[in-house]
Structure 1
Amino acid sequence: MADSSPTHLVEGEAVAHSDNTSFVTKLDIAGHTMVADEPVDVGGTDTGPSPYGLLSGALAACTAMTLHAYAKMKSLPVTDIRVKVKHEKIHEVDCENCEQDDKAKIDRLERTIWIEGDVDDKARERMMQIADRCPVHRTLTSQIRIVTRAG
């Protein structure tokens, strides 16, 4: 079969390539290259972030960028924004099938935001609300359709 992989990617497009020798996967994300891998404890070599690490990174980066744009637009004296996102699989109290399936878990993304600068409590509270408006947050909390096709 001939390789019909795209040669030029635009924003919103990504290609992953595995040579099937390890979990190390080369990524081209709209012309930006990097690798993904799995941690050593699950058989990877930890040479790059895991897919869930990339997902956490996407939410963290988008949140920081959204807050930066908001602070700039409102001329807030923000000097530093840091966002930590932790992904984990947890048992949810109300999760469907939890009683029947001990392995039933849901994904949880926990986001912690630090905003440095001389920002009053009202502006800080508003920025925390704005964090939920970042595009990646909105995507992750909306209905998603993944369409798979052969290339």
Structure 2
Amino acid sequence: MSQTKTLSVSAEMNQGFAVTSIIDGHQMVIDQPVTAKGTGLGPTPLQYFLFAVAGCIGTIARIAAFQKKIDLRSMQIQVEGDYNPAGLMGKASEDRNGFQQIRILASIDADLSETEKKAFLDEVCERCPLHDNTKLETEVLHSLA
């Protein structure tokens, strides 16, 4: 039987572009750069999204390393994505509005061969919920409160 768990985040935007939230006592801010009429108080939503993917992969890697008794000394995770900003600016585009491709490059410091590191990364990415959400279609619903 499925044991679905629901997570919820509430955010607020007042004047300007800054969107704020308090999540488990942590003050979070998403903003736009000053050059884009924001106040530069935080990363953009797209940067936060890529950071969240990197954070999820790192977290799952740590869990998997504990489970497999791997001494994971460190892990560097670079996540980059390509998108066409035309759609979010309200301009016509043949591209979808989201990322067309997301690339994850990981460096793993552990006593594993290159083949074992690759298999470990593959398993971690398969277990990562955000990797799953970017790889597979997820129904997204929206409505007015």
Using the size of structure 1 for normalisation, the TM-score is 0.75
Summarize deviations over 1:101-146 as a string: whole Å, max 9, x none. x833351222111101222223212112123211111112222222
Using the alignment, how far apart are the partners of 1:57 and 1:18 within structure 2?
A: 21
> Structure 2: where are the runs of 5+ without partners?
85-91
RMSD: 2.3
CA contact (8 A) 2:64 2:124 kept: no
> Structure 1: where are the runs of 5+ without partners?
1-9, 91-101
Deviation at 1:40, TM superposition (A): 2.5
Percent identity of paired positions between Structure 1 and Structure 2: 20
Summarize deviations over 1:13-69 as a string: whole Å, max 9, x none. 1111111x2111112335532111012232212211111111111110010111111
Using the alignment, how far apart are the partners of 1:88 and 1:135 within structure 2?
A: 21
Structure with the larger helix share: 2
Which structure would you say has the larger Rg?
1
Structure with the larger strand share: 1
Paired AA for residue 15 in structure 1 = S
Tell me if 1:103 matches 2:96. Answer: no
Using the size of structure 2 for normalisation, the TM-score is 0.78
Paired residues, number: 131
Tell me if 1:16 matches 2:6. Answer: no
